[in-house]
Amino acid sequence: MDPESEAVRTAVAAVLGPAERVDRVVPAVGCALVLTDLRLILVRSGAAYRPRTGIRDWSLDREIRIRMTPGRDRLIIERGNVSASVFLTRQHVEATIDLVMEVRRRSYGES
């Protein structure tokens, strides 16, 4: 999913808080990962037609768990008993690694 697409911008704009800002957007297979100053948002293709699962979000706190699978072809995001799995393309692995590191830094205070 193209992170610059109108669908992503529209979906994200609908869920952003009044002062919340988007820091980065990383494409993945069939979706985009959006990191704001407050949370991680997953926008799936067709989000407008999937009200329950098209847009998911996780607060950047100590309860979020985010990791890549050993083959670096998938990203797992978990909080409590709610999880999401995102497939990655090789060309976006480095951007996803940077995203994971930033989420961990903000959530867990890791460097």
Assigned CATH topology for domain 6-108: PH-domain like (2.30.29)
Query: In this predicted model, what pLDDT tens digit does every residue of 57-67 receive, in sequence order?
Result: 999 999 999 99
Per-residue model confidence as pLDDT tens digits over 76-92: 999 998 899 999 999 99
Which residue's structure tokens are 């999401």?
A: 84
The answer to whether 31 and 40 are in contact (CB under 8 A) is: no
| Residue 49 pLDDT exceeds 60 | no
- pTM of the predicted model as reported, rounded to 2 decimal places: 0.86
Q: Which residue has the higher pLDDT, 108 or 77?
A: 77
Give the model's pLDDT for residue 10: 82
8-47 per-position pLDDT tens digit: 788 888 889 899 999 999 999 989 999 999 999 999 886 5
